[in-house]
């Protein structure tokens, strides 16, 4: 009897997390993986894709994306999910900031619907005390992760350069991450078993050092790193961890790029009681303060060569759990401010270059294995944020979210190649070998050979977490 399916991927070197590289053929039907089969004979398919000489990864998941900040969310969803598809990303998680009750989140969800090429979900930033009571409601509607900005305080909101992407629109005093608010978010989030994402920087320390640095006329990315030192991260890690132990919290530390921050988290992890997860970003793997361009301004800052080496080691050895891009869809004229490190915006685009960085600078330079790439870009992220096994693996019954990559394909990075709203990239002119050549989202080929299918706009669905 002849088997049938919608799509048959033949000659697949499937990178299956915790299993290994499996030579197989992948049957896809109704948006799901129907079966993995040794023999493609006697299978009829509407489309056959030959993956010979390439690897098939579980679709990449970017857990750290800022969009809907500089353009309306429906427009931003279109441009940034398109860029994500170029980079082999099949699910993106938005850092949403509301300054009202999250019971008004519906208008954000409606504006997002039918605007994404790929699947998407939301982390809810808790910015005001009155939002704490919304935490159980957020869990009910499928948002099982919260974001804490320890870098924000009432004395900092007027400092334009101190804020994360988009936060320059905050009115003076609107966000004050007091110890009381911090404690209540951790406590109430833990009650409903939400994962708590933490931006760990000591606001007061950063504020004082930045004021001093600006007065002294310090300049460049080295100055930016000195004024937001790794010690600031380490102190904040210890502070929130103490709160987390009281409630057995799931703490997820975002954008970790310094050895001091890594060591601080590992020291807290040894004390137990909380679950600790560590995310790094591609730019901490590629850039240091030697990068002589203020487009590299980000919070926390890019660090030293020694820090970069530590991050690669931690990624290789399993200390780091996930990769998030901290992607920000701004444009160069916004980014540069007055042309100095103090007035420039923090953040830059990165969602389309996550996999190319890991493949070109990681796999192809023997820093990490392709199996490890699948773990940190998909499997671990899906498990931490309640999407597994719907997402994050290649197995029967899982969503057919797949990224086919060619380790030999070389491209020179340009903003145009990445297809974001942003018109610049910190990788401009870099040659990278190792690119996604196909992005499949729930059985729909969204990107092929760098071209995103315009008919796939609106295919992306909201992922209710935890998935049933």
Which residues touch 41 (CB under 8 Å, ≥6 apart)? Answer: none
**Cα 341 from Cα 15, distance rounded (Å):** 42
**Cα 261 from Cα 282, distance rounded (Å):** 16
Q: What is the pLDDT of residues 405-450, one digit of tens each?
A: 999 999 999 999 999 999 999 999 999 999 999 999 999 999 999 9
Domain 3-50 class, CATH top level? mainly beta
SS3 content of the chain, % helix, strand, coil (to 5): 35, 25, 40
**Quick one: how far is CA 333 from the chain centroid?**
24
- Closest by Cα among 145, 164, 138, 167 to 61: 145
The CATH classification of domain 60-390+408-430, taken from the options 3.30.499.10, 3.40.50.200, 1.10.3720.10, 3.20.20.140 = 3.20.20.140
Q: Tell me the CA distances in angstroms from 332 to 220, 296, 421, 444, one per residue in order.
A: 17, 12, 10, 33
Amino acid 2: pLDDT: 62
Amino acid 157: pLDDT: 46
Contact 33, 395 (CB under 8 A): yes
| DSSP symbols for 412-427 | E--HHHHTSS-S--TT
Return the DSSP state at 299.
S
Place of tokens 């009897």: 1
Q: Strand ranges (DSSP E) for 180-255?
A: 195-199, 250-253
**Cα 179 from Cα 191, distance rounded (Å):** 18
Strand 43-50 to 3-16 pairing: parallel
Mark the ranges of the chain whose per-residue pLDDT is less than 50.
Answer: 1, 154, 157-173
Contact 84, 351 (CB under 8 A): yes
Amino acid 176: pLDDT: 87
**Cα 38 from Cα 452, distance rounded (Å):** 31
Amino acid 418: pLDDT: 98
Q: Tell me the CA distances in angstroms from 204 to 250, 260, 282, 429, one per residue in order.
A: 25, 18, 27, 38
Place of tokens 């297809």: 419
Q: 328 has which bridge partners?
A: 66
Neighbouring CB atoms inside 10 A of 321's CB total 22
**Cα 24 from Cα 46, distance rounded (Å):** 19
Amino acid 39: pLDDT: 87
Contact 4, 45 (CB under 8 A): yes
Amino acid 292: pLDDT: 86
Please check whether the two domains, 3-50 and 60-390+408-430, share a CATH topology.
Answer: no
Place of tokens 């608010």: 181
Element (H, E) at 58: strand 55-58
User: Two tokens at 392?
Assistant: 């994050």
Q: What is the pLDDT of residues 250-286, one digit of tens each?
A: 999 999 999 999 999 999 999 988 899 999 999 999 9
Domains of the chain, by residue range, sit at: 3-50, 60-390+408-430
Q: Strand ranges (DSSP E) for 67-136?
A: 89-97, 119-125
- Closest by Cα among 404, 398, 394, 417 to 446: 404
Q: Strand ranges (DSSP E) for 257-354?
A: 275-280, 322-323, 327-328
- Closest by Cα among 13, 40, 14, 88 to 393: 14
């Amino acid at each position: 009897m002849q088997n049938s399916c919608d799509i048959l991927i033949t000659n697949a070197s499937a990178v299956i997390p915790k299993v290994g590289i499996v030579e197989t053929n992948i049957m896809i039907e109704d948006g799901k993986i129907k079966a993995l089969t040794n023999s493609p004979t006697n299978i009829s398919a509407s489309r056959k894709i030959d993956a010979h000489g390439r690897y098939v990864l579980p679709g990449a998941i970017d857990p750290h994306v800022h969009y809907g900040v500089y353009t309306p969310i429906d427009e931003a969803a279109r441009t940034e999910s398109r860029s994500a598809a170029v980079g082999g990303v099949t699910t993106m998680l938005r850092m949403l900031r509301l300054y009202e009750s999250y019971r008004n989140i519906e208008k954000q969800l409606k504006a997002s619907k039918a605007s994404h090429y790929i699947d998407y979900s939301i982390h809810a930033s808790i910015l005001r005390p009155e939002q704490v009571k919304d935490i159980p409601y957020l869990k009910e509607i499928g948002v099982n992760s919260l974001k804490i900005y320890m870098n924000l305080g009432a004395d900092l909101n007027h400092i334009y350069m101190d804020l994360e992407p988009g936060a320059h629109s905050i009115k003076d005093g609107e966000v004050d991450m007091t110890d009381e608010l911090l404690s209540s978010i951790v406590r109430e989030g833990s009650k409903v078993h939400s994962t708590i994402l933490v931006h760990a920087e000591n606001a007061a320390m950063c504020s004082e050092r930045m004021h001093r640095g600006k007065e002294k006329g310090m300049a460049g990315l080295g100055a930016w790193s000195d004024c937001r030192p790794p010690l600031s991260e380490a102190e904040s890690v210890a502070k929130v961890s103490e709160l987390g132990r009281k409630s057995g919290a799931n703490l997820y530390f975002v954008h970790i790029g310094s050895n001091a921050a890594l060591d601080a988290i590992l020291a807290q992890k040894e004390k137990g009681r909380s679950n600790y997860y560590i995310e790094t970003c591609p730019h901490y793997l590629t850039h240091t303060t030697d990068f002589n361009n203020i487009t590299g301004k980000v919070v926390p800052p890019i660090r030293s060569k020694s820090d970069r080496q530590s991050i690669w080691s931690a990624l290789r050895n399993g200390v780091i759990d996930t990769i998030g891009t901290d992607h920000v869809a701004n444009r160069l004229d916004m980014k540069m401010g007055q042309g100095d490190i103090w007035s420039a915006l923090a953040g830059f685009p990165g969602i389309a270059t996550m996999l190319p960085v890991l493949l070109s600078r990681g796999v192809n330079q023997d820093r990490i294995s392709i199996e490890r790439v699948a773990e940190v870009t998909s499997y671990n992220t899906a498990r931490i944020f309640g999407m597994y096994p719907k997402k994050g693996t290649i197995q029967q019954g899982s969503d057919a979210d797949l990224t086919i990559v060619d380790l030999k394909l070389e491209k020179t990075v340009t903003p145009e190649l990445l297809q974001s709203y942003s018109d610049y990239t910190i990788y401009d002119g870099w040659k990278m070998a190792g690119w996604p050549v196909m992005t499949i989202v729930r059985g729909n080929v969204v990107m092929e050979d760098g071209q995103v299918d315009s008919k796939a706009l609106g295919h992306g669905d909201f992922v209710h977490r935890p998935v049933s």
